[in-house]
Chain A
Amino acid sequence: AQSVSQHNHHVILSEAASLELGCNYSYGGTVNLFWYVQYPGQHLQLLLKYFSGDPLVKGIKGFEAEFIKSKFSFNLRKPSVQWSDTAEYFCAVNAGFQKLVFGTGTRLLVSP
């Protein structure tokens, strides 16, 4: 069955530190990949997505993610985090027109 793993459940960083959140999925065929973010008290919103083409995709607010097919990974990165990046981040995978499967989420706390 299709599954998504986010290995970091809680991450604490200081402002200006670099961020990388891991996401691995289990599916051998064509996949569509997403990162969603949920800021405190707000609804879940799309951060970025990968469908095809350039495996390095850029999203909103300076985030980017790299799709590495051989590693079944779609890690989220940001060179320098801000206090306003404090949120919960979810990786999600859709494969073969089947359902969207979410990871368990990573809570990021950025201290000023």
Chain B
Amino acid sequence: DGGITQSPKYLFRKEGQNVTLSCEQNLNHDAMYWYRQDPGQGLRLIYYSQIVNDFQKGDIAEGYSVSREKKESFPLTVTSAQKNPTAFYLCASSPNKRGYSNQPQHFGDGTRLSIL
């Protein structure tokens, strides 16, 4: 059954630590995205990747980093530079090489990150 797998579902971080959120898709999609969801703010784009070994910053990239070494994987690292990392993080993918275009995005179940 094709889809997007995000792990872990819940993640706790101590102040000053980096943490990495996993996102894997078996949909053979070219484009992948990371969003942050906060109450009352909708989804905000952190980073996106249209093809392997290439990625671009979204609206709120500061304090985050990504890599795209494989087509099916797009991990997000929340660094200690991110001042307010507590949020719900959503990974998505779409088949379109050109990025957003007119193909709907498919979403994972999300990872909830909390600061201890």
Contacts and interface: CB of A to CB of B under 8 A. Distances in A.
Interface of A: 6, 9, 32, 34, 36, 42-46, 49, 51, 90, 94, 97-100, 102-105
* Most chain B C-beta atoms within 10 Å of own C-beta, residue among A6, A32, A43, A51: A43
B104 A34 contact: yes
Nearest to A90: B42
Given A43-B110, A44-B107, A98 B100 contact: yes
A36 B90 CA distance: 13
A27 B45 CA distance: 18
A99 B45 contact: yes
A102 B105 CA distance: 12
Interface of B: 4, 33, 35, 40-45, 48, 58, 90, 92, 98-102, 104-110
26 contacts: A32-B101, A34-B104, A36-B107, A42-B109, A43-B107, A44-B43, A44-B92, A44-B107, A46-B106, A49-B102, A90-B42, A94-B100, A97-B99, A97-B100, A98-B100, A99-B45, A99-B48, A99-B100, A100-B33, A100-B100, A102-B42, A102-B43, A103-B42, A104-B40, A104-B41, A105-B40
Contacts of A45: 107
B101 A49 contact: no
Contacts of B109: 42-43
B42 A104 contact: yes
6 cross-chain pairs, A with B, having the tightest CB-CB distances, nearest first: A44-B107, A104-B42, A102-B43, A32-B102, A102-B42, A43-B109
Contacts of B43: 44, 90, 102
Contact of B101 (A6, A46, A94, A104): A94
Contacts of A9: 40
A51 B110 CA distance: 27
